[in-house]
């Protein structure tokens, strides 16, 4: 079985031929040129599919299906893109149009975060799981839900907005308009805010901290200083991990999945992050005394997750 997976991003369109093990046999990408008419972009995607197979010396007829991961809400059944904030595809049935350009090849669609979660289930950190929940900790908090090895996107294609459940009623302002969302406490952006707040406190009190030596504050600043025994950084990390563990425990209590996956920039801390989170999650998991508990881990598919997940989503 060989399928094509396409990760349609705001900057690049990445495509790959994926085998039944989730290995990418051949991949290629082109700039999205998101400001161009959408017809041109879809033409580019069709060309990319043809080029992939010819350059990999695989007959196009050997490709079972084409899957597209999209940064927005989708209707998997109809193939329509419902809503994409950053590319001009809202309301377009990209599956139908692309299928016509590819001689009737079967084309499917998925939200990119959901596709990434599916990739982890088929050949990544959650391999073999039936049920998995993933959060991505970056500028915001994204998420994906896989139930019975299938993407769950709700009744309108917009489910799994896992960054937007409130963990602090009336708390920090969130980009979505609500206050106190998980995203406002668990994202890399939130960690940077907490780092800057602590730096201000240190500046006012005269307490020395290694974090002050960073030329640019990032999500790594506090982690790096913490690993060197910095007391102020320890306070930042403790605060961030407390909120993060709290949100994760809540999602585990709702889903009790086989595996809970953490992706996105902050997950680059890998086992170090898990070791900080696990004791706090152990305290708060409703099923903490159950024989079978959710395994917590970081994502492994990285930048290829969209391609792989898109392929498996069809």
Q: How far is CA 187 from CA 195, 219, 236, in A?
A: 12, 9, 14
Nearest to 135 by CA among 16, 303, 251, 289: 251
Contact status, residue 110 vs residue 310, Cβ threshold 8 Å: yes
Contact status, residue 147 vs residue 47, Cβ threshold 8 Å: no
For a second copy, give the closer residue by CB, 117 or 221: 117
Contact status, residue 118 vs residue 92, Cβ threshold 8 Å: no
For a second copy, give the closer residue by CB, 181 or 210: 181
Interface with a second copy (CB under 8 A): 73, 82-83, 129-131, 145, 147, 152-162, 164-169, 176-178, 185, 242-243, 246-247, 249-251, 253-258, 283-284, 286-287, 290-294
For a second copy, give the closer residue by CB, 177 or 229: 177
In angstroms, what is the minimal distance from the CB of 153 to a second copy? Answer: 8
In angstroms, what is the minimal distance from the CB of 114 to a second copy? Answer: 12
In angstroms, what is the minimal distance from the CB of 52 to a second copy? Answer: 34
Query: Reduced to 3 states, what is the DSSP secondary structure of residue 139?
Result: coil
- How far apart CA 276 and CA 269 sit, in angstroms, is 10
In angstroms, what is the minimal distance from the CB of 247 to a second copy? Answer: 8
For a second copy, give the closer residue by CB, 64 or 284: 284
- How far apart CA 206 and CA 188 sit, in angstroms, is 26
For a second copy, give the closer residue by CB, 127 or 227: 127
In angstroms, what is the minimal distance from the CB of 197 to a second copy? Answer: 16
């Amino acid at each position: 079985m060989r399928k094509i997976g396409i990760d349609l991003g705001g900057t690049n369109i990445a495509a790959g031929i994926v085998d039944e093990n989730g290995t990418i046999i051949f991949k290629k990408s082109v700039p999205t040129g998101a400001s161009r008419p959408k017809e041109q972009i879809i033409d580019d995607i069709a060309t990319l599919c043809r080029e992939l197979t010819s350059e990999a010396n695989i007959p196009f007829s050997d490709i079972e299906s084409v899957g597209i991961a999209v940064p927005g809400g989708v209707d998997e059944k109809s193939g329509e893109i419902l809503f994409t904030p950053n590319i001009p595809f809202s309301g377009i049935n990209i599956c139908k149009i692309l299928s016509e350009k590819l001689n009737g090849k079967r084309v499917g669609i998925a939200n990119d975060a959901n596709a990434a979660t599916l990739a982890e289930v088929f050949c990544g950190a959650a391999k073999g799981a039936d049920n998995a929940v993933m959060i991505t900790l970056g500028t915001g908090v994204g998420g994906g839900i896989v139930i019975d090895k299938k993407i769950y996107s709700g009744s309108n294609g917009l489910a799994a907005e896992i960054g937007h459940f409130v963990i602090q009623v009336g708390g920090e302002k969130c980009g979505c308009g609500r206050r106190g969302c998980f995203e406002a406490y668990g994202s890399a952006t939130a960690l940077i805010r907490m780092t800057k707040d602590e730096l201000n406190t240190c500046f006012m009190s005269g307490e020395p901290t290694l974090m002050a030596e960073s030329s640019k504050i990032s999500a790594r600043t506090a982690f790096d200083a913490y690993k060197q025994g910095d007391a102020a950084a320890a306070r930042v990390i403790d605060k961030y991990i407390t909120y993060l563990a709290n949100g994760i425990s809540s999602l585990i209590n709702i889903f009790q999945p086989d595996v809970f996956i953490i992706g996105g920039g902050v997950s680059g801390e890998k086992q170090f992050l898990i070791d900080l989170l696990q004791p706090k999650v152990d305290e708060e998991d409703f099923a903490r005394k159950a024989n079978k508990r959710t395994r917590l881990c970081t994502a492994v598919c990285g930048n290829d997750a969209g391609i792989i997940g898109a392929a498996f989503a069809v």
